[in-house]
Structure formats: structure tokens, C-alpha cells
Structure 1
Amino acid sequence: MAEQIIAPSFPFFPSMASKLTSLEDAIARNVWDGCSIALGLALEHSIPFAAVHEIIRQGKRGLTLIGPISDMAFDQLIGAGCVGKVMAAWVGNVSHGMGYNFSRAVESGRVKMIDYSNLAIAQAILAAALGIPCIPTKTLLGSDMLSSLVAEGFAKLVECPFTGERMVMLKAVKPDVAIIHTQRCDEMGYAQMWGNYGIVREACQAADRVVVTTEEIIPHEEITKDPNSVVCPPHKVAAVAKVEYGAHPSPLAGYYNRDHSCFREYYQESRTPEGFRRWLSKWVLQPRSRADYLRLIRLDEIRVKNPIEAGVRVYGY
């Protein structure tokens, strides 16, 4: 396993250097005990589950998880004992409801929850992306969520200096690391993504560093044919790892669909701590390679079978 490197305060990663590495190395070098991680940023689409499982295997501890809807990724990290705090709008299993590990951890006091709405966490991350310490909003007025955020020091009630209106000022949320999974990327970190972006672009700008897992590594010349699909500035990218089906069991636009059977199995097993440990052993700890993991999946059932090609975009000079 690669030696863990503790992040400097303001890392900068040369845009034209290769960042290609293994998933194991990418996590070992860029996720450290006690750091804050933004993931699940495209909501139910393109969740970097392969990276989540590698974090669990490496036994990271005391993490702060940041995101809107993480589906069951946050729940898995919590169940594995990796998490100390969650800053999110929702944690669970979208198609089957409860996040049982999350519920057990919050109720027992093992994990602290900072409760946001989807819009509020997006705006707090946007503030960090813009390089400002806070951002005005009206979204939480009238909500009891506001009182808890004020009490925790993440929001304040203010008067607009221009209109005198009552407003909320949300404190910027700046992750140490953002982890994303994309359809394509080159070695330098020009990561291309399509489908639902959610707040991927904003979180990549906000974070100190970005780890990219991707389905395909392509030449930079191919990236330049569709520059608008690049979701992250390459100087933010610390590592790029090629991981096939790296978002499974979540869907990835143009590549594979949501694997409902996996979400159903997780729901059934995670209802008890013993069941979760069985699930963790089968899906995370026992597979010794990506090939071993993929053998657990009915790939033919989730591959996109009716691709819809977008129209050709013409660029030039």
C-alpha cells in the first residue's frame, strides 16, 4: 500500500502532468484520517462506490462526509466505522428508504449530523467554490432546520444591507477532498461527464483536491473535441484511476443502469449490524480485485442496451 501523504494547506497539481495511478494509491495518498470528503455529488447518478469501498478497506477513520443525496454510500462508510460527522441533506437507500447504519450511529451518538436541505448544502458548497466565506439565501426561512444550523455555527440570520429584508447567511463548506466518477478522463485530469451533474462542478471547485475515478482513459486530443463536458479544472485533480463500473450499483449515463438488486440486497442485510457485516464481507472485503467484484454482478442486465447519441457539437477557430 502506498504511503499516506498528509495534505498541504493549498495543494496545486500541475495541469499537464500525468496523475494516472491505481485506486488503492489514489485513496492512500489523498484521503487521510479526519479529513472532509465530498461525494455523491450527482445525487443518485455516478456515485463513486469503488472509491468508497477502497476507503473502507484502508480503514480510514474520523471522516466528515459532505454531500446532498449520497444514496447508500454514506451509510456504508458509517457502518464500516469510517465516519465521525455528516453534513448532508439525506442519508439512506433511495429505492428502499432507511439508511440503517446511519440511524444507528446518529441515535447512539457515534456520528454527528449537521442537517441541511439539498439547496442549502449546494449553496454552502457554491460559496466555497466562489472563494467567499458565506452566501445569502432565503431557502431556510421558516424551517426548523435553520435553528439547528444557527446553533451549530453554520448559518446566521441577517438583514439585507440593500433592502432590509430578513435573510440567511450560510457559511461556506469547503471539503478537503472531492471524489467523483466520470465517463472519461485523460491522464492529466481533464474529466468529462454527462447526464446529471448535480453539484459536481461546484464541489470540484470548492475542494482543495479532487480524486477522479473513470470508466475510460482517453487521449487529451479527444478531450478537446468536447471541452464543455469537462467538469473539473485539472490543477485541482490529484489522482486519476481507471475503474470499470466504478459507480456501480448507481447508474452512469450511457454506460450502465441502476442495479436495483444490489440496493434491495443492501436494504435487507443492513437492517441489523450482523447482516451489514455479512454484506461488507461479500461486496467489499472478500473481492481481491476489480474482476472479482465484477463477477458478483449480472453485467448484461445493467449495461445500456439502447444508447441515444447526442447531436454533434461543432467547435473551431
Structure 2
Amino acid sequence: MARLCSLSQAVEENLRDGDSVALEGFTHLIPYAAGHEIIRQGRKELFLIRMTPDIIYDQLIGAGAARGMKFSWGGNPGVGSLHRFRDAVENQWPRPLEIEEHSHAAMANAYEAGAANLPFATLRGYIGADLPKVNANIRDVTCPFTGEVLAAVPSIRPDVSIIHAQRADRQGNVLIEGIIGVQKEAILAAKRSVVTVEEIVDELSPPSSNSVVLPSWAISCVVHVPGGAFPSYAHGYYKRSNSFYIAWDKIARERDSFQAWIRQNVMNGSPEDFLRHIGKAA
């Protein structure tokens, strides 16, 4: 059952060095505040998982928290490359980074298989694609009923999944609205889970047709972190800071400017400090 606690407690109690960790959120509801807390606590040797790693994973990689990453697209959306990600792959700075690249379809199916406690996922993908040539975890399986050859990938079962959502009640049930990615599957597939939310309410309002309610029993910790997805957006709460995504390209391009930014905005501050400083500049 979910427990309400602070962000520092949630990360300290649920995330250990060497864990596989998924920070999911598609376009919006990206758990930036939780990612920053991981950096502040100095977690190391993490195997990162995310369908679309963007700036928060660039920060985790550049801070030396990651030993590897499983992903299906990586970049600064609408801007360009992730320079800390590229530096790790091309120059092994701040340390070598193992990468395992998949398609979006394979990642989504692998999360769903993990949520269903299955060992692998099958899909009609990768036909004529080159990824199987460089990824040993893309294999094939023959359907015992039709003889059709299908692609197969291992299920995704993170040690810890972390997401951001709009609201939770005091029992720890969580409501997600807006664009829904694989947050539900990521939580259900994980051994432990942390959900940061914009609001804690006495009672969840009736969900819209495009919403997901995660039950308390599926979640380890719920944390009240207003603005916890910024500079991405939270549907119904605040907009995406396009200016920050543009600014990040220059910040992350050089190691020194990246490290200075992390010291000033992550290591020496809280989520509230980050919002006060970045929010004014965004």
C-alpha cells in the first residue's frame, strides 16, 4: 500500500545503487524533481529505462549516475542532441555507458509484458530493420499455432519505476490525465514505485474518459511535489517551458557549463529552489 512521504525519503528508501530504474512520462508529466533527487543523493550504477529519454536522463548520465540505458529514442525534443548522452557514448565521460536501443513498439510491449508478469513480449516489428543486428535482446519466436515468425524482446521489470501525476488521495490512489504513455505499465511492472503528484486531495474527482487511476496497492510511495514535472508540462496545471529546452542545448554542450548548472540548480537546492530559479528564467 502506498505511503505518503517526502521526496528524499521516497528515493532513499526505494532506490539503491545498481538498480534498474524507469522514469516515465510521455511529453508531459516527466518526473524531473525525482530525477534531481536521485542526483542529489549520489546514486550510482543505475540502469536507466525510458521510452523517450530527454533532458532529465541527459542530467542523470552527465552526473555519473548511470551505467547503462534501455531506450527507444533519445534527444532534446524539438531542439537536437543530448550532449551528455553523446559524450558518454562517444568519449566514455563521465563513465562508459551501455546502451540497448529498441523501437517504441517494442518498449511499450515489453512494459506491458512486465506488468503481466510475463518473461518476454512478442510483436510484428523489426521486419527489415537493422536494430536486431546490433541488439542481442531482439530475437524471434515461432508461433506454435500459425508458424508465423515474430519478434521477441525481454519484458521490462524495473527495480523501481518513478512517475509524476496530477493528483492522489490520502489513501495513495493516483489519477493521471492528459496524454497517457506507459506510466501504468511501468508502475505495475516494477518491484517498487514512487509517484510524485501536483496535489493531495481528500477524494479523487470522477475520472475523464482519458485518464488512469493507479490503485494504492500498486504504489510504494506517493509524494506531494507541486511543479515536479517542470520544465515539461502537467496537463491542467502548467505549460511546457520551451525556452528551457532551447537553453539546455547550450548548457549541456560543454562539460564545465553542465557541471556548473548541476551544482547551482540541483546539488545546492530543493525542488522549490529549482522552480523559483528556473521558473523565472523560463
TM-score band w.r.t. shorter chain: over 0.9
Q: What is the rounded CA distance, in whole Å, between the counterparts of 1:171 and 1:293 in structure 2?
A: 37
Q: What is the rounded CA distance, in whole Å, between the counterparts of 2:41 and 2:215 in structure 1?
A: 28
1:38 counterpart = 2:54: no
User: Residue 96 of structure 1 contacts residue 264 of structure 1 at CA under 8 Å; is this kept in 2?
Assistant: yes
User: Residue 75 of structure 1 contacts residue 91 of structure 1 at CA under 8 Å; is this kept in 2?
Assistant: no
Flag structure 2 segments of 5+ consecutive residues without an equivalent.
Answer: none
Give SS of 1:52's match: helix
Residue 306 of structure 1 is matched in structure 2 by none
Pairwise CA distance, 1:122: 1.0
Pairwise CA distance, 1:215: 0.6
1:127 counterpart = 2:113: yes
Q: Which is further off, 264-273 or 53-62?
A: 264-273
Pairwise CA distance, 1:195: 0.5
Which of 237, 251, 271 in structure 2 is aligned with 1:269? 251
Q: Which is further off, 171-180 or 103-112?
A: 103-112
Q: What is the rounded CA distance, in whole Å, between the counterparts of 1:142 and 1:248 in structure 2?
A: 39
Query: For the structure 1 residues 70 and 231, does the alpha-carbon distance in structure 2 shift closer, same or farther, using more than 3 Å as the test?
Result: farther
For residue 111 of structure 2, what is the amino acid of its counterpart? Answer: I
User: Residue 228 of structure 2 contacts residue 271 of structure 2 at CA under 8 Å; is this kept in 1?
Assistant: no
Pairwise CA distance, 1:249: 0.2
1:252 counterpart = 2:230: no
Which of 8, 14, 29 in structure 2 is aligned with 1:24? 8
RMSD across aligned positions (CA): 1.8
Identity percentage of aligned residues: 38
User: Residue deviations 1:232-274, cap 9 Å, x none?
Assistant: 2321211111111000000110111111121122111110111
Residue 7 of structure 1 is matched in structure 2 by none
Give SS of 1:255's match: coil
Flag structure 1 segments of 5+ consecutive residues without an equivalent.
Answer: 1-13, 303-317
Higher relative CO (CA 8 A, sep ≥ 6), structure 1 or 2? 2
Matches within 5 A, 1:41-190: 41-109=24-92, 110-149=96-135, 151=136, 154-190=137-173
For residue 27 of structure 1, what is the amino acid of its counterpart? Answer: V
Q: What is the rounded CA distance, in whole Å, between the counterparts of 2:139 and 2:215 in structure 1?
A: 32
User: Residue 7 of structure 2 contacts residue 34 of structure 2 at CA under 8 Å; is this kept in 1?
Assistant: yes
Number of residues paired by the alignment?
278
Q: Which runs of 4+ in 1 moved over 4 A?
A: none
For residue 219 of structure 2, what is the amino acid of its counterpart? Answer: V
Q: What is the rounded CA distance, in whole Å, between the counterparts of 1:95 and 1:227 in structure 2?
A: 29
Residue 223 of structure 1 is matched in structure 2 by 204
**TM-score (normalised: structure 2):** 0.93
Pairwise CA distance, 1:225: 3.4
1:192 counterpart = 2:164: no
Residue 280 of structure 1 is matched in structure 2 by 262
Rg (Cα) greater in structure:
1
Q: What is the rounded CA distance, in whole Å, between the counterparts of 2:234 and 2:205 in structure 1?
A: 22
